[in-house]
């Protein structure tokens, strides 16, 4: 039965509930022994960097919020099972409540390629700063101070910023994540 042709479909889910939908789908598919009809369920995500309490935090964020990709052969009960999962709105199609429309291969490859690219380059955080540019410190003991970039070390992802503190110029070494461009 594994020679069944499967296509990629987009399942609309309530935004923020994509992971729960994926878990419930996998559980239900296993429970009803529909593994021959559903190959994989994907939530396209990207890595996002944030600073919280002075620490750099990697966070995974949905790259297409509200959508779950599913590779399946929609025969018999399969679409009905998928639609009845909590937090699922339905399939993405041409008309509301109409038949699910499979994604074009080019779209699938583009999305899957983008997901692979985002996971491969997760540590590739390249922020283009220029010497002489004005920046504002957004983290650390010199929070809210403004200064001018004096030197850039791309290897260590650090900047040397000339900041005026109490009327005197001081050179601070800060990471890319501790400053933002001044507008």
Q: How far apart are CA 90 and CA 9, in angstroms?
A: 11
Query: How far is Cα 41 from Cα 25, in angstroms, rounded to an integer?
Result: 8
Which pTM value belongs to this model? 0.59
Rounded (10°) CA dihedral 123, 128, 134, 137: 0
Secondary structure of the chain: what % helix, strand, coil (to 5)? 20, 40, 40
Predicted pLDDT at 70? 94
Lowest mean pLDDT among 17-21, 114-118, 176-180: 114-118
Distance linking the first and last C-alpha atoms of the chain: 60
Residue 49 pLDDT: 72
- The pLDDT score that the predictor gives to residue 30 is 93
| 31 secondary structure, DSSP code | H
Dist CA 91 CA 8 (whole Å): 11
What is the rounded CA–CA span in Å between residue 13 and residue 31?
21
Give the H or E element holding residue 164.
strand 158-165
pLDDT band at 122; cut points 50, 70, 90: very low
Which of 155, 158, 151, 146 minimizes the C-alpha distance to 130? 151
CATH topology of domain 134-181: SH3 type barrels. (2.30.30)
Q: What pLDDT is stored for residue 123 in this prediction?
A: 47
CA–CA dist 181, 68 (Å, integer): 35
Q: Cβ(11)–Cβ(92) under 8 Å?
A: yes
pLDDT of residue 4: 64
Residues carrying CATH 2.30.30.30, the chain: 134-181
**Check whether domain 7-120 has CATH 3.30.70.100, yes or no:** no
The tokens of 106 are what? 């080019």
Using a pLDDT cut of 90, give the percent of the chain over it.
38
Higher confidence at residue 137 or residue 48?
A: 137
pLDDT tens-digit readout, 8-49 = 999 999 988 999 999 999 999 999 999 899 999 998 887 777
* Range 123-151 burial, b when 16+ CB lie within 10 A, else e: eeeeeebeeebebebebeebeebebebbe
Average pLDDT rounded to a whole number, residues 55-69: 82
Domain(s) labelled CATH 3.30.70.940 in the chain stretch across 7-120
Mean pLDDT, range 128-155, rounded to an integer:
89
The residue among 3 and 99 whose pLDDT is bigger is 99
Residues 155-182, mean pLDDT to the nearest whole number = 89
């Amino acid at each position: 039965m594994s020679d069944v042709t499967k296509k990629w479909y987009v399942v609309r889910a309530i935004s923020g509930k994509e992971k729960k939908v994926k878990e419930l789908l996998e559980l239900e598919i296993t429970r009803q022994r529909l593994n021959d009809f559903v190959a994989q369920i994907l939530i396209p995500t990207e890595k996002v960097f944030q600073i919280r309490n002075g620490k750099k935090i990697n966070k995974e964020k949905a790259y297409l919020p509200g959508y779950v990709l599913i590779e399946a052969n929609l025969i018999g009960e399969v679409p009905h099972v998928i639609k009845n999962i909590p937090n699922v709105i339905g399939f993405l199609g041409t008309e509301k409540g109409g038949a699910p429309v499979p994604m074009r291969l080019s779209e699938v490859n583009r999305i899957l390629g983008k997901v692979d690219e985002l996971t491969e380059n997760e540590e590739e955080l390249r922020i283009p700063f220029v010497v002489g540019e004005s920046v504002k410190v957004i983290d650390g003991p010199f929070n809210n101070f403004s200064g001018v970039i004096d030197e850039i070390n791309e290897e260590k992802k650090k900047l040397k910023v000339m900041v005026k503190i109490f009327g005197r110029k001081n050179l601070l070494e800060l990471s890319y994540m501790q400053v933002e461009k001044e507008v």
